[in-house]
Each structure stands twice: as structure tokens, then as C-alpha cells.
Structure 1
Amino acid sequence: MEHPSSARQTHVLIIGYVWPEPRSSAASGHVMQLIDCFLEQGWQITFASAASEGEHKADLAGLGITEVAIELNDSSFDHFVSELQPDVVLFDQFLMEEQFGWRVEKHCPSAVRVLETCDLQSMRHTRHQMLKHLLKQDGERTDFGELFCAPDATLFQRMSVTDLAQRELASFYRSDLNLVVSDVEIDFLTTHFKVPAPLLHWCPLMVRDRPDSTRGFEERASFLCIGNFRHAPNWDAVFWLKHTLWPLIRQQLPTAQLHIYGAYTPPKATALHNPAQGFHIMNRAEDAWEVMSRARVSLAPLRFGAGIKGKVIDAMICGTPTVTTSIGAEAMHGDLPFPGAIANDARGIADAAVRLYTDQALWEQAQRAGGALLHQRFAHEHHAASLIERIEHLRDDLQSHRTANFTGAMLRHHQHKSTQYMAQWIEAKNKNV
């Protein structure tokens, strides 16, 4: 239902960590989905970023979006945002709120401040450190159930003492609304970090477009692994595949082929290319859905990470079952069956992959489960309407919302003072150079 206030003119400023490349990462894909939601409302959008433009950057101008290049630690942003006077400011990841939030607070105090969290970065970082610790103890370890299923209390203990978690959670409090892609993370934040529920909003990847039809079991061949190589969990998964998992799969399927696609493929990944072993490094996929639709099984052996997994969503869209870990499946299926298989040790992953690849009935069951999940958990219509309604409600009742968030007001006050002094010091130093 359309909100009564939706007819009013709304100007959104998005401050991007990067210029979005929706075909390169799920994070950029989610930003583009948010942009679609705003455009559907007829809202005016300005997208600003201090990042350099990548070769696969989305054509924002073609969508009627104003693009602005900004700089870090530069007072010219003050003039820009003061002139713009947006109604809503969306920070793409908490680092952007750290850099620009106090300037928005100073010049646009009545703008609704929304943080697109992408994933809980301190959770991903902590899990990575826990993995490194286990591998340091035993580099040949193949069972990671202890890590993947660590109690929340243990994870909180390790996270809470990190600088990253303290910075990230401070940013959450300073924002009026935090878009969290994982409902598991929302529960974790409210239960362990005691973040007030009114500051959080579940906004996962929102699926609208799907192929007209999906290929059947007999029309497909090979395994697939896909993911941006700049995302550390993806590189770790490929490394584990190469040295442990794929040899176990090839023992049972000697002619099996694995095609690995990923944007920004580094030399260390290219060096793993070995056609004789059926291990193919394919670089970036021009059409991810096309290559996903031709594969019979998607492998996503993630040993650390957070948020939800774009590769698993894409696999469901293409009707391709996925084999992953508890980390990869986290927040992906709720109480519904996972569209594939979950295992937490090397042998279990390999055996599950072989079963799905060879058992047509099991494969078709997983494909149907994926279709049900997309409809019940990731439908664009539901989440888009919920997001717009939440933002409009904040615009109508922003002062009382902020009054209830005293911790956020206190953190914004201290951020404004400290960063203002730092900015003045940097400018003075630059003038004296």
C-alpha cells in the first residue's frame, strides 16, 4: 500500500563506498536494488563517491541519477551537501558514515540517515581470525564444524573487544536506520549487542527478475563456483577447493569439471588453473546467470563470512542447487529447506556435491526448494514496500525517533567535535605545505 506521504518530493543522496558494479558483487547488486526502490517512488537521486570508477560501473546517469565525485577529508563536501539539502542520506557501508556522517549532521540535520550495512563486517572479520587460528594449530584440518557452528556467545565475546566492532556499532547508533541483509544478524545485534530494534530493518537481496525458464538436470554439466575475488571469503573458498575439496570430488567423478568465475581475478588465482585436473579459472562471467544456468551444481564452500550470499541467490534464480557450509547457508533459508546441501567438513562437502550431481530426484527436489525460497523470503515487492514505508515513517516522526536514541545523539555529538578538529588540522597542515 502506498504511504500517504509518498507523493511528496524526496531527494536521496547516496554516498557510495564504490561506484556500483552489480555484475561484480552482491553488495553492489543490493545498492542497485535500493536505487530501484527509490526510483519506483519517483524520488530524485544523487550518487556521490570518492572511489575511482571501475570498468564495469553501472550506468547511473542513464537511470536519471546525478553522479558527483567527492573527496575524503575535504571541506568541499560541506558546500556540496549544504547546497543539495537531501531529505534522505544513504551511507553505503559504515566507513562512509564515519567519513561523511558528521558533515551531513552539520549541514543537513533534518535528513534521515540510513546505513546500508552490506554485512556485519566485524562478524566476518572475527570469523576470519578464528579460522586463521584453527589453521595455525592444524594446517591440514578438514572439519570446521567447531568454527562454523560456534555459539553466539563465543562469537560475541571475540567480536566485542575488536576496534572494528566498536567502530561499526557506533556507526549503527549514529544512524537513524540500519539496513541489515541478514535476519540472523538482526537477532545477534539485538540479543548480544543490545542494539534497539527500531534502529534495524531487515532488507535482504530483493529478487524480481528471473529467467523465463530453467534448464533441467540432463541439460546441464559441470560444477561451478562464482564470486568476486576482492572479497576475501571467496578467495579462501577457491583455495580450499583447489587443495582439498576438488581432489575428493574427482576421486568419485574422475571426469568432472569445475569452472570458477570471479571479477578481478588475481595472479594467485590464475595460477591455480589446471585443465588436466578439471579445474578451470574463467575470470569474470559476462553473464553470470547464463553460466550458472548451464552448471549442474554450484559449490560455495565458505569458511568465513557474514550477511547473505549473492551466489546462493543467483543459483536459486537459475535453478542450480548449491553445496555450502553453515556459514554459506546462514540467513539464506530460515525454516525452509535449503536448496542443495550443507556440510561442515571436507568429506561431507565432497560427498554431498557428488550426490547432487548424480541423483536426479535429489537435484530436482533442491531446485524446487530454491524456487519456493525466492518467493517466500526474497520477493522484491514485499521488501521494497516495507523499506519505503519505514523511511517515510521516519521522515514523519524523526525527532521522537532520535530522542529515543540518546546513545546515538551522544555519539554523533562526539564524532562531530573530534572529526571537526581533525579536519581543521588537516586543512591547516595542507596550507602550510
Structure 2
Amino acid sequence: MKKKVLIIGFVWPEPRSSAAGSRMMQLISFFQSQDYKITFASACAKSDNAFDLETINVKRETIALNHSSFDDFIINLNPNLVLFDRFMTEEQFGWRVTEHCPNAIKILDTEDLHFLRRARQRALKENAIISDDYLFSDTTKREIASIYRCDLSLIISTAEMSLLKKRFKIDDSLLLYLPFLIPDLSEEHIKILPTFDERQHFITIGNFLHEPNYDALSYLKHTLWKEIKAKLPHAELHNYGAYASQKINQLHNEREGFLIKGFAEDVDEVMGHAKVLLAPMRFGAGLKGKLFDAMKNGTPFVSTSIGVEGIIENKNQDFVCNTAEDFVTHAIALYQNVQLWDLQQTLGFKILRTQFSKSDFEEKFEKCINELSQNLGIYRQQNFIGQMLQHHTLQSTKYMSKWIEEKNS
């Protein structure tokens, strides 16, 4: 009998709109390679940018929040494995999975650590250095509780693995480092990429609904771009991203060369013809998909320590700039200096090949799932905190959900 996996999505995957959407498609591809029958379910409304999952033989189901109809749905499906897309989804549906499919492996894909992103955002607003006062929030408690309730959590960044293990003392057995799964680039792909002289202009890209992206765009507009434009009067900054609001579109200024381009139908096309990517991320977490799109297309970038977290270990690289002055200086140098540009392009290809090769990580993920399948009872006995959090006296989300359902009936 074919193995069955249920993926419960926080949203329907939009691989052309966000790194989270691309990540989800990578996980779907992995499960298909392992011969799973996949059902993707979500309570979210489906947008026009959502990928048509049925074209790749993934069954699509709409589910309801705080409703016992999910109980019948999962009993009938009876999956071997359930993947929760972000901790909020596990909060909503995890207790129902445990109740009705106790033998299903429960895996949490964190996407990024939400509590870390929010802590950094708050520290930035308050012009403060991030500390335990910011890290030890209610969001932190919720997200880490979700990690404990699951059999395995997928962590996308080495920095986040270190934080969870060292600061929060989470056991190795509950965590798996699984970054973006990047297919190896062929020599043919690299050879046909546009050269330095065939490219022009700067680029930014990112879903405008994601607050770190809007902050970076605003920082570019009001602090960085005028200085760059003054030294490179013929250069333009092309800003791409899904869901551009009126507030975003008002930043468009042709005289300044600051152009809001909106949704990119083909990321590789626009990235491959840009000379330099600018990514001044001042807060955030996880891995930045825009930097992977850049490296894959041979486009050098300028970013920050937070932007390159989990990608670049040596933060002393010239293109890791944490002051406005350094950022402007290096952006201009990279745009003008072909030797510097070539060096960084080559480094990007090396990073993808040595740190994010799809085959290496898929093999580890497969091994981990097989071990869980064979020894699930033993794994769960070793996770006493997870068992404790499943106890009815600590399941506030379960009883809140039941109360909401009763109230709405």
C-alpha cells in the first residue's frame, strides 16, 4: 500500500511569490520522490498566485478552522505522516491529529523561527540590541511548545539550529537541519548566463506582505538609494515583489530611478539580467530566498549580517554591510568592478554546490523519517516534555477550538 502524507498548509504554496512557497514545493518534490501519495490541505483562501497542485498529482483539500469536520477528514485519510506548515498550523490541528491518528509521524516545518524574526523587529523599532527580554516572548513559548509536541522539526538555518540547541536546550533528536534543497547547477547553465557587460541596473525582490521586505525597501528608498544614484546616475533600481499595495506603489519615482515593478512572472529572467541585487535586511530569520535566486542566476549581492545568516559564515566579507555607508560603498564598487563582480559570482556558485546540495539533504531527511517510522514509540518516550504538553491540562488551544466551534454552531 502506498504511503500517505498530509501537508497542512498555513497558506496555499506560491513559489513565484515567496521563498516559503518555493520551500514547500521542494518538500512536496521530496515526498513524491519517496513514493508518497500527497494530500495538501489548508484553511486559507486560495489566491491567483497559488500553484495548481493538481497538475503534479497532489490532492487538494479545503479544511475549516475550529471545526470537527477535520476529525472525519483525517480519520478517513489515515496518513502515515503529517507535515505542519509553521507552528500556528500545528496549534490549530496538531491535537486533532494526535487524537485521531496517534501513529502518524508529526513533522513541523518551521519555515523560519517566527519568534526570532519578531524579537529582531521589536529590537529594531526600539533601537536596542536584541536580548533575552526580546527572545523570551509569548510567541517563543508557543513556537517551542509546538516543536516539542512534534516528532521532528525542520530547521532551515544553521544559526537557528544553534539557537534552539544552545540557548533553549532542545534535544538533537527533535531537530533536523534542512535548508533550501538546491539542485546542482550544470556547467551549461552557468555558461549561458548573461555576463557583466550584458547586465544593467540594480534589483530587489520579495513578497511585499512580508514585513522585513517592506522595511528593506523603505530603507533603500529613504537612506541608501539617493547616495548610490548620485554616483551612478544612469543606474536604476528595479523593485519586484508580489502584493504591492498603494503604499508600495507610491514609492515609484522614475526621475530617481526607483522603480516599483510589481510581480515578477519569471524570477530567473529578471534576476539574470540584473547586475547587482540589493538586500539590506535589518530584521528577519530563516534563509533569504532572494539571495538563492541571485546566486543561482550568477547575480552578486550586497546584504547584511541578518540577510546572509545561515548562508555566509564569514561576516567580514565586503558584501556583508551593516552600516549605510558601507552598503552604499560596496554596492557602487560591485556595480563598476568586473573583477570584484566575477569573484562574488564564483563564490555564490560554490556556496550553492557545497552547502545546499539537494541530494545531500534529501538523503538525510529520508533516513530520519525511516528511523522515526521504525522506532516512533521509543522516540516519543524520550520526549517527555512533548508528552507533557499533550496532556489535557496543558491543551488550551484544543479547548479554545472546541469552545469556538460550540459558540459558532
The secondary structure found in structure 2 opposite 1:260 is strand
Indicate the residue corresponding to 1:144 in structure 2.
none
Indicate the residue corresponding to 1:405 in structure 2.
383
Indicate the residue corresponding to 1:226 in structure 2.
205
The secondary structure found in structure 1 opposite 2:307 is helix
Indicate the residue corresponding to 1:3 in structure 2.
none
Structure 1 length as normaliser, TM-score? 0.91
Contact 1:248 1:347 in 2 (8 A): no
Match of 1:80 among 61, 65, 73: 73
Indicate the residue corresponding to 2:50 in structure 1.
57
Match of 1:31 among 24, 33, 52: 24
Cα shift readout 1:96-145 (whole Å, capped 9, x = no counterpart) = 000000000000111110000000100000100011011xxxxxxxxxxx
Structure 1 residue 219 displacement after superposition: 0.7
Separation in 2 of the partners of 1:254 and 1:218? 17
Contact 1:15 1:96 in 2 (8 A): yes
Contact 1:258 1:279 in 2 (8 A): yes
Structure 1 residue 251 displacement after superposition: 1.8
The secondary structure found in structure 2 opposite 1:86 is coil
Separation in 2 of the partners of 1:236 and 1:307? 16
Match of 1:366 among 339, 344, 351: 344
Structure 1 residue 336 displacement after superposition: 9.7
Cα shift readout 1:25-55 (whole Å, capped 9, x = no counterpart) = 0011101000000101111100000001110
Structure 1 residue 282 displacement after superposition: 0.1
Contact 1:102 1:415 in 2 (8 A): no
Cα shift readout 1:257-280 (whole Å, capped 9, x = no counterpart) = 100000001111100100110100
Separation in 2 of the partners of 1:46 and 1:103? 17
Cα shift readout 1:3-37 (whole Å, capped 9, x = no counterpart) = xxxxx732100000000010100011101000000
Structure 2 length as normaliser, TM-score? 0.96
Give the letter aligned to residue 353 of structure 2: H
Contact 1:217 1:363 in 2 (8 A): yes
Structure 1 residue 414 displacement after superposition: 3.6
Structure 1 residue 214 displacement after superposition: 1.4
Indicate the residue corresponding to 1:19 in structure 2.
12
Structure 1 residue 415 displacement after superposition: 7.0
Give the letter aligned to residue 382 of structure 2: A
**2:408 is the counterpart of 1:430:** yes
Indicate the residue corresponding to 2:88 in structure 1.
95
Give the letter aligned to residue 51 of structure 1: C
Equivalence map 1:275-354=2 (5 Å): 275-334=254-313, 341-354=319-332
The secondary structure found in structure 1 opposite 2:391 is helix
Number of matched pairs = 405
The secondary structure found in structure 1 opposite 2:197 is helix
In structure 1, runs of 5+ residues without a counterpart are: 1-7, 135-146
Indicate the residue corresponding to 1:205 in structure 2.
180
The secondary structure found in structure 2 opposite 1:424 is helix
Give the letter aligned to residue 355 of structure 1: A
Residues 49 and 415 of structure 1: is their aligned pair in 2 closer, same or farther, counting only changes over 3 Å?
A: farther
Give the letter aligned to residue 195 of structure 2: G
Give the letter aligned to residue 162 of structure 2: D
Cα shift readout 1:128-184 (whole Å, capped 9, x = no counterpart) = 0011011xxxxxxxxxxxx6xx5xxx5344211x11111011001111100010011
Indicate the residue corresponding to 1:188 in structure 2.
163
Cα shift readout 1:166-216 (whole Å, capped 9, x = no counterpart) = 101100111110001001100011000111111111111111175463111
Indicate the residue corresponding to 1:163 in structure 2.
138
Indicate the residue corresponding to 1:44 in structure 2.
37
Structure 1 residue 335 displacement after superposition: 5.5
The secondary structure found in structure 2 opposite 1:395 is helix
**2:357 is the counterpart of 1:379:** yes
Structure 1 residue 59 displacement after superposition: 1.6
Equivalence map 1:164-179=2 (5 Å): 164-179=139-154
Cα shift readout 1:361-384 (whole Å, capped 9, x = no counterpart) = 000000000000010011111111
Separation in 1 of the partners of 2:124 and 2:153? 28
In structure 2, runs of 5+ residues without a counterpart are: none
Contact 2:18 2:206 in 1 (8 A): yes
